[in-house]
Amino acid sequence: MPNNLLVDGPADGVRVFTLNRPDALNALNTELLGNLSRALDDAEADPDTRAVVITGSQKAFAAGADINEMAARDLVGILEDPRVAHWQRIDRFSKPIIAAVNGFALGGGCELAMHADILIAGENARFGQPEINLGIMPGAGGTQRLVRKVGESLAMHMALTGEPISATRALQAGLVSEICQPELTLERAVQIGQSIARKAPIAVRLTKESVRKANDMNLAEGLRFERHAFTVLAGTEDRQEGLDAFREKRKPRFTGR
């Protein structure tokens, strides 16, 4: 059986994960999610990996959870669903994740894309939460992250009708940060990853954590978290190096200390 998750790199600080179940439009079964979760463990532990890119094919990023697998689970099976731990692993990943999305990003596929910190879409991308058509509802953030990303009205429209939105609409709504030609989506995502890989790793880590807190905390708490994180950076060698390099008109050499 072909490997359902291809791993490349790290090259220039970036690892690329390619979802690879072409016969099922990259539907996310437990095995694929497990492989992704373990690949993230490896990437987390590797100091040479500074960012990861998750992508699919030109036709589909991922068409959702595997419907055949889901159909075999009853209430207890869903309650004890091993996929939940895999989703939590993705959410916990401390380094930046960039999603390069072409084609269908539906249901769990849209939810996986929303786990990314930066989302780049090809012009042919379609984002949707069609679970309602199956008599179910989103189960990996499609009613929560989607609201925070596109606002309640559009999220409600998508989740209640199951209608997908285009890449252009996703850009207008703030779900994606850039659109490009489908054949350039991955290249652009890798380029962004490489740019992040050249920054000071501890500053990157705390920036990601701090931006994410904006969704979990009220403004006063979030500002307090930001101030503490900012203060922590004052103890890093990379901060000194960054400030020195600017004043000496040279490129900084960050070491992650």
Pick the piece of the chain touching ligand DAK (CB under 6 A) from 11-19, 77-85, 146-154, 217-225: 77-85
Closer CB to ligand DAK, 124 or 177, in the complex: 124
Residue with nearest beta carbon to ligand DAK: 107
Of 18, 66, 100, 239, the residue at the interface with ligand DAK (CB under 6 A) is 66
Task: Show the tokens assigned to 191.
Answer: 């380029």
User: What's the closest the beta carbon of residue 86 comes to ligand DAK, in angstroms?
Assistant: 8
- 93 binding ligand DAK? (CB under 6 A): no
CA distances from 96 to 14, 47, 115, 119, 251 (A): 10, 13, 10, 11, 22
User: What's the closest the beta carbon of residue 22 comes to ligand DAK, in angstroms?
Assistant: 9
Query: Among residue numbers 10 through 39, which ones bind ligand DAK (CB under 6 A)?
Result: 24-25, 27
- 226 binding ligand DAK? (CB under 6 A): no
Query: Among residue numbers 97 through 156, which ones bind ligand DAK (CB under 6 A)?
Result: 104, 106-108, 130-131, 134, 139-140
Closer CB to ligand DAK, 107 or 193, in the complex: 107
At residue 223, what is the residue type? L
Residues known to be catalytic: 65, 108, 111, 131
User: What's the closest the beta carbon of residue 240 comes to ligand DAK, in angstroms?
Assistant: 43
Pick the piece of the chain touching ligand DAK (CB under 6 A) from 80-88, 191-199, 203-211, 249-257: 80-88
- 214 binding ligand DAK? (CB under 6 A): no
Q: Which residues bind ligand DAK (CB under 6 A)?
A: 24-25, 27, 63-68, 81, 83-84, 87, 104, 106-108, 130-131, 134, 139-140
